[in-house]
Amino acid sequence: QQPVQSPQAVILREGEDAVINCSSSKALYSVHWYRQKHGEAPVFLMILLKGGEQKGHEKISASFNEKKQQSSLYLTASQLSYSGTYFCGTENVGGFKTIFGAGTRLFVKA
Amino acid sequence: DGGITQSPKYLFRKEGQNVTLSCEQNLNHDAMYWYRQDPGQGLRLIYYSQIVNDFQKGDIAEGYSVSREKKESFPLTVTSAQKNPTAFYLCASRGTSWWGELFFGEGSRLTVL
């Protein structure tokens, strides 16, 4: 039931791009993306709803393929501040219950 | 400013003792959640509540209990039945839509000695 995230970890140099994937075996209505710094609360990045839309926030964007029950988070021209653990959270229709993946650790070095 | 307040931030407990973690929100949100996070792992859902006086078990509810007597409060009790309670606990709330953004508190780190 827990969505599967890949890769588990990634190391980037400043300015490089990364893609983080999230897939579910169940039909999804929505997918959230959050970033968490060590010892802090997760911070909301964006939410995608059923319908295959793509969203963007500065140099971070995401897509949702409802046929494949997959979402991808795109980080372009990475900055040091992008370091942290990225989580996807998923919901089924009418569920109220948000289930998170195990996370992807991203480290950006100068 | 509106937000979610968790207390205490750090808590030490002896084995066999119950402990209650506080979660208060002034966002006027209906839904509230408790998640557990272990090192290097994701957030696992313990309990959630959609409205006052109603709550549902999440994926790892054994050894935990909650109450929802007021809209703004959702305390979590870690009982002595919880076999491995040392973890980082996060409380969250959600507004009007059942699929909307989750707002998280700063977390409570529980260590069992």
Nearest residue of A to residue B91 by CA position?
A41
Query: Lowest-pLDDT range, A57-61, A74-78, A84-88, B92-96?
Result: A57-61
CA distance linking residue A52 with residue A33, whole number of Å: 15
How far apart are the CA of A75 and the nearest CA of chain B, in angstroms? 20
| Closest by Cα among B1, B64, B61, B58 to B31 | B58
Query: Lowest-pLDDT range, A7-11, A95-99, A104-108, B48-52?
Result: A95-99
Top pLDDT among A21 and B42 is at A21
Could you read off the pLDDT of A23-79 as tens digits, one per residue? Answer: 998 888 889 999 999 888 999 998 898 776 666 667 899 999 888 899 999 999 999
| Residue that has been written with the tokens 């929802």 in this structure | B68
The pLDDT of residue B113: 86
Could you read off the pLDDT of A2-36 as tens digits, one per residue? Answer: 899 999 999 999 999 999 999 998 888 889 999 99
Query: Lowest-pLDDT range, A19-33, A86-100, B81-95?
Result: A86-100
DSSP H stretches of helix in B5-103 = none
CB B69 within 8 A of CB A3: no
CB contact under 8 A, B90 and A96: no
Top pLDDT among A108 and A54 is at A108
The pLDDT of residue B4: 95
Cis peptide before A7 (omega within 30 of 0): yes
Asked whether residue B45 carries a pLDDT value surpassing 90, the answer given is: yes
> Using the 8-state DSSP alphabet, how is residue A80 labeled?
G
Substitution target from A31, A96, A99, A105 for chain B, most B beta carbons within 10 A: A96
Q: What is the mean pLDDT of residues A77-103?
A: 90
CB A14 within 8 A of CB A108: yes
Asked whether residue B17 carries a pLDDT value surpassing 80, the answer given is: yes
**Contact residues on chain A for B30, CB-CB shorter than 8 A:** none
| Closest by Cα among A33, A39, A1 to A20 | A33
Task: Extract the tokens encoding B20.
Answer: 């209650």
Nearest residue of B to residue A86 by CA position?
B42
The pLDDT of residue B98: 65
Residue A90: which pLDDT band, with cuts at 50, 70 and 90? Answer: very high
| Residue that has been written with the tokens 């002595």 in this structure | B80
CA distance linking residue B30 with residue A15, whole number of Å: 41
Asked whether residue B18 carries a pLDDT value surpassing 80, the answer given is: yes
Asked whether residue B95 carries a pLDDT value surpassing 90, the answer given is: no
Which of helix, strand or coil describes residue B92?
strand
Asked if A70 reaches chain B (Cβ–Cβ under 8 Å), the answer is no
Query: What is the DSSP pairing of strand B4-7 with strand B19-25?
Result: antiparallel
Residue A102: which pLDDT band, with cuts at 50, 70 and 90? Answer: very high
CB contact under 8 A, B58 and A2: no
Residue B23: which pLDDT band, with cuts at 50, 70 and 90? Answer: very high
> Using the 8-state DSSP alphabet, how is residue B63 labeled?
T
